[in-house]
């Protein structure tokens, strides 16, 4: 059986773990629907700060200037693109909290609930933040927010939020 491309290299730093998807998705031979994110988003931070009350506390932050390819006819970030961005960014955040035998062999979405508060416009710089809320043996929850970046017209305003339910895969069954 070949190596699972979703498997997390646990020897890497949180930032390197979060960067792994984007290295794969930016490869010239990859033309999947999410490849555009590897070319338009920049990882700005990835942290793993476990505590007794939150043993899998991980966060990530990305910046992106809204590209035309992700906009609707009105020149706003498309709702489907918002869901795609959240799906990738929140999933990447789980990889930051993985440990040997725990969320290190990939995961799939169970739910992705997005709330659209106001539109992000073409050319606007936004910040995408994600935080692990809970990781159990098999199920997890991550929340995300897309905000206006510093210096933008909508600076600090929340444009979209999400709650992403995930299920861990068993590496032996892949």
State phi, psi for 62 to the nearest 5 degrees: -130, 155
For residues 106 and 4, the answer to whether their CB atoms sit within 8 Å is yes
Helices 79-97 + 14-25 axis angle, to 10: 140
| Mean pLDDT of all residues in 63-90 | 97
What pLDDT digit, counting tens, does each position of 72-85 carry?
999 999 999 999 99
The candidate with the shortest Cα–Cα distance to 92, out of 22, 158, 149, is 22
Quickly name the fold that domain 14-173 has.
Answer: Thiol Ester Dehydrase; Chain A (3.10.129)
Residue 158: how many other CB atoms lie within 10 Å: 14
Q: How distant, in Å, are the alpha carbons of 1, 2, 25, 53, 65 from that of 22? A: 24, 20, 5, 31, 16
> Would you state the pLDDT for residue 172?
54
What's the pTM value of the predicted model, to 2 decimals?
0.89
Spans of all domains in the chain: 14-173
For residues 126 and 145, the answer to whether their CB atoms sit within 8 Å is no
Instruction: Find the largest Cα–Cα distance for the chain.
Output: 50
pLDDT at residue 3 is higher than 80: no
Helix or strand or coil: residue 9? coil
For residues 43 and 23, the answer to whether their CB atoms sit within 8 Å is no
What pairs with residue 126 in β-bridges?
Answer: 64, 148
């Amino acid at each position: 059986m070949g190596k699972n491309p979703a498997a997390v290299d646990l020897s890497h730093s949180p930032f390197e773990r979060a960067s792994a998807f984007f290295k794969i998705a930016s490869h010239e031979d990859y033309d999947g629907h999410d490849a555009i994110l590897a070319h338009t988003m920049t990882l700005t931070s990835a942290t793993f700060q476990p505590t007794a009350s939150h043993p899998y506390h991980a966060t990530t932050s990305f910046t992106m200037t809204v590209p035309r390819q992700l906009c609707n006819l009105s020149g706003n970030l498309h709702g489907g693109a918002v869901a795609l961005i959240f799906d990738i960014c929140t999933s990447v955040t789980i990889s930051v909290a993985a440990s040997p035998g725990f969320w290190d062999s990939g995961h799939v979405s169970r739910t992705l609930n997005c709330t659209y508060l106001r539109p992000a416009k073409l050319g606007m710089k936004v910040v995408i933040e994600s935080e692990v809320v809970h990781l159990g043996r098999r199920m997890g929850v991550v929340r995300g927010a897309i905000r206006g970046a510093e210096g933008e017209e909508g600076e600090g305003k929340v444009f979209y939020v999400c709650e992403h339910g995930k299920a861990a895969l068993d590496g032996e069954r892949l």
